[in-house]
Amino acid sequence: MQQKVFEELFENYLQNNLTEADEQKLMNIIQQGSHDDFIKEKIQLLLNKNESTELLEKQKGDDILSYILSHSDAPKVISIHDNKKSYRKLGRAIVAIAAAVTILFAIRTAFFYENTPDPLKNKEEKLEQISSVLAFNGKQLIRLPDGSTIILNDKSSITYDQNDFDKETREVTLSGEAYFDIKRNEKKPFIVHTGKVSTRVLGTAFNINAYDTSDNIEITVERGKVQVGDVKKIYGVITPNQQIKVNKNTLDFEQNNTKIETVITWKSNYLILDDINMEEAVALISQKYKVPIVLANENIKNCRITASFLNEEDLEHVLKVVCSVIETSYHYNQNNAIVLEGKGCE
C-alpha cells in the first residue's frame, strides 16, 4: 500500500500537482530510503528519453539533489509551484537528479540528455563533472555520514569529499557560518577548514563564524573542547563559553570568554525536529510559539518525526505539516490550547 502511495506522490510531484502537505509527506518517505530502487528506475527512464520534456526548473532539481544528498532527515517542503512557470527542459534538471542517483546507488557512470548531440569526448567530460565532493548551500540541516549534524546559516556553504570522509579523519570546509554537533570518535578527529585556519575536535558542539564580509574567524564552544590553529601552530584549546577570534589576513588571534547563547542567536530562529518522538516535538513547538499543546491520544507520543522549519514559518504552517506527516488533525479547545488527535503509533 505504501509503495502505491509513494509512486502516486512521486508522479504528481513531477507533474506539479502536489499540495504542500503532500510534498512534505513525499520528502519524508524519500528520506526513509525504502523506495530507492523505484527512484533509480524512474530517473534512469527519464534520462534515456530522446525527446525534450518539460519537467522541473533547474533550481527545483538542485533542491531535490541537495535534499537527497544531505540525508539530513529534515524533510524541507520543496515547492514546485512557481508563479513564473519558467520551466527548463529535462536536460538541465536531470543533471542534478542524476547526481543524486549517483550518490545514492554508488553508480560510477551516468547518462545525460542534451538538446543537441555532443561528441563522445564532451560526454566523458560531463561525466567527470560529477565528482566525489558534496556541496550544501544556504540554511539547512545537514546530517553527515558519521551521524554528526551541521546547521548551516544563511549565505553559507559546506563541502566535503565523500570518498575521504570518515577514513582517517572527518574533514569539511566551511564558508560563512554554521553550528556543529559532532559525534565523538577519538580515532577520527573532525576538522573544519576555514581558509588557513583549522578547527579540530573529537566530539563536541561549537559555532564557527567565517563570513567573507568579516576580517575575522570566530570559533565559539558550547560543549566539549575545540582546538584551533593553522599549519604552523596551535592557537589554543577552548572549552564551553570560550571563543578564539583569528584575523584572516595576519593570523593574529585572541581568546576570550563569551556567552554561547548570544553567539548562536541566529540558530534559535530555526525549528528543527530531528528524528524525535512527538512528545519531544510538541515541547519544542509549544516553547517556540508560546502555546499549550495537548495530545488527545497517548499513542501519538510514540510517533517520530523529522522536519525542519528554517524560514520563520507561522504556527499554522508547522501544525499542518506535522499533522500531515503523522496522520493526525488539530483543533483549538475552549482554553485556546491546541489538541492533536489521531490513532498515533504503536
pLDDT at 96: 39
Check whether 112 has a pLDDT greater than 70: no
Check whether 105 has a pLDDT greater than 50: no
Mean pLDDT of 282-305: 94
End-to-end CA distance of the chain: 19
> How many Cβ atoms sit within 10 Å of the Cβ of residue 115?
9
Mean pLDDT of 233-239: 96
E strands of 33-121, at which residues? none
Between residues 156 and 34, the one the model is more confident about: 156
Residue 282 CB contacts under 8 Å (≥ 6 apart), including other chains: 293, 295, 340
When pLDDT is cut at 50, 70 and 90, the band that residue 81 belongs to is very low
Check whether 145 has a pLDDT greater than 70: yes
When pLDDT is cut at 50, 70 and 90, the band that residue 107 belongs to is very low
pLDDT at 76: 39
The amino acid at residue 126 is K
Check whether 148 has a pLDDT greater than 60: yes
Burial 12-33 (b: 16+ CB within 10 A, else e): ebbebebeebbbbbbbbbbbee
Cell numbers found for residue 247: 584575523
CATH architecture of the domain 134-262 equals: Sandwich (2.60)
Q: Under a CB-based contact definition with an 8 Å cutoff, are residues 100 and 60 in contact?
A: no
For residues 180 and 192, give the distance between their C-alpha atoms in angstroms, rounded to a whole number: 10
Task: Give the strand pairing for 170-181 and 190-194.
Answer: parallel
Check whether 157 has a pLDDT greater than 80: yes
Between residues 98 and 293, the one the model is more confident about: 293
The amino acid at residue 77 is V
What CATH code is assigned to 269-341?
A: 3.55.50.30
Between residues 238 and 123, the one the model is more confident about: 238
Check whether 122 has a pLDDT greater than 60: no
For residues 336 and 197, give the distance between their C-alpha atoms in angstroms, rounded to a whole number: 51
For residues 292 and 273, give the distance between their C-alpha atoms in angstroms, rounded to a whole number: 18
The amino acid at residue 60 is K
Nearest of 224, 178, 220 to residue 202 by alpha carbon:
224
pLDDT at 268: 86
Q: Where are the domains of the chain?
A: 2-130, 134-262, 269-341
pLDDT at 1: 56
When pLDDT is cut at 50, 70 and 90, the band that residue 191 belongs to is very high
Between residues 345 and 106, the one the model is more confident about: 345
pLDDT at 19: 79
Q: Give 312-346 as a DSSP string.
A: ---HHHHHHHHHHHHT-EEEE-TTS-EEEES----
| Range of weakest confidence among 38-42, 163-167, 186-190, 229-233 | 38-42
Q: Under a CB-based contact definition with an 8 Å cutoff, are residues 146 and 185 in contact?
A: yes
Check whether 283 has a pLDDT greater than 80: yes
When pLDDT is cut at 50, 70 and 90, the band that residue 47 belongs to is low
For residues 190 and 149, give the distance between their C-alpha atoms in angstroms, rounded to a whole number: 12
User: Is 90 strand, coil or helix?
Assistant: helix
Q: In the predicted model, what is the mean pLDDT of the chain?
A: 79
When pLDDT is cut at 50, 70 and 90, the band that residue 28 belongs to is confident
For residues 307 and 278, give the distance between their C-alpha atoms in angstroms, rounded to a whole number: 12
For residues 302 and 312, give the distance between their C-alpha atoms in angstroms, rounded to a whole number: 27
- For residue 318, what are the CA distances in angstroms to 21, 201, 202? 10, 35, 35
pLDDT at 12: 76
Residue 47 CB contacts under 8 Å (≥ 6 apart), including other chains: 94, 98, 110, 111, 112, 113
pLDDT at 323: 94
Between residues 3 and 133, the one the model is more confident about: 133
Between residues 67 and 259, the one the model is more confident about: 259
- For residue 131, what are the CA distances in angstroms to 68, 121, 165, 279? 16, 17, 14, 41
pLDDT at 239: 97
pLDDT at 68: 52
pLDDT at 95: 38
Residue 223 CB contacts under 8 Å (≥ 6 apart), including other chains: 204, 205, 206, 240
Residue that is written with C-alpha cell 580515532 in the block? 187
